[in-house]
Structure 1
């Protein structure tokens, strides 16, 4: 089953305006995640404008149908962060419930979890 990495491309970390401002920190992270996920089966990426987690930018969401979903944030736009996010998404895609044992978490995602969302119910 496909796991989606939803990436906020409008995130700006503190001090962003001191740089060249040619792209947001979210855009920079999105490019790195997209590159790390290219060609993988079971993982797809998409960008959205604003996940409303501005105090913890850069933010991403790991999502899959009928699985636990997770919001993560406070990332820097680095290849290490992008690789860790993609590695976690691969594990999420292979998990029946979306839960990944802590021992299997990449170091780059530890300390970045903000919320966990249960799957939506099938019936009302």
Structure 2
């Protein structure tokens, strides 16, 4: 059962100058850094055009089947942020429920949690 980090690659930060495309977007820069930080780990990454969390950009979602799923945001596209996202993702992957004790959270993710979603029911 894979743990996925989904990164919004179209996220802009407040005050980002005008329209931007491609690698110039803060979300695209964060996505590249997260992908790089996740290399060699069991985590899987993917990009999506929008997580609809524009007030909280740059956004990522950490998800796995039958576990709590989380959206984190308000990141700057830095290597430190990407490494912390991946470190927290690894803790999520190791947890049976997806819940990670606060004392284990890497400092750069504290204050960045936006939402938590319960797992979908197994039965219809």
On whether the aligned pair clears a TM of 0.5, the verdict is yes
Alpha-carbon distance in structure 2 between the residues aligned to 1:14 and 1:53:
12
Q: Give the match's secondary structure for 2:17.
A: helix
Question: Helix, strand or coil: the match of 2:44?
Answer: strand
> Quick one: distance in 1 between partners of 2:3 and 2:104?
17
What SS does the aligned partner of 1:17 have? coil
- Determine the structure 2 residue equivalent to 1:28: 29
Residue 15 of structure 1 and its aligned partner are, at CA, apart by 2.2
Give the TM-score of the pair, scaled to structure 2: 0.94
Aligned-pair RMSD on alpha carbons?
Answer: 1.6
User: Which residue number corresponds to residue 8 of structure 2?
Assistant: 8
1:4-49, Cα deviation, whole Å (9 max, x unpaired): 000000000012217x8651000000000000001112x1100000
Match of 1:121 in 2: 121
Q: Which consecutive aligned stretches of 4+ in structure 1 deviate over 3 angstroms post-superposition?
A: none
Query: Which blocks of at least 5 consecutive residues in structure 1 are unaligned?
Result: none
Paired residues, what number? 123
Map 1:48-67 to 2 at 5 A.
48-67=48-67
- 2:80 matched residue in structure 1: 80
SS of residue in 1 equivalent to 2:96? coil
CA distance in 2, matches of 1:67, 1:15: 35
1:100 and 2:105 equivalent?
no
Matches within 5 A, 1:39-50: 39-41=40-42, 43-50=43-50
Structure 2 alignment gaps of length 5 or more? none
Cα distance in structure 2, aligned partners of 1:93 and 1:8 = 20
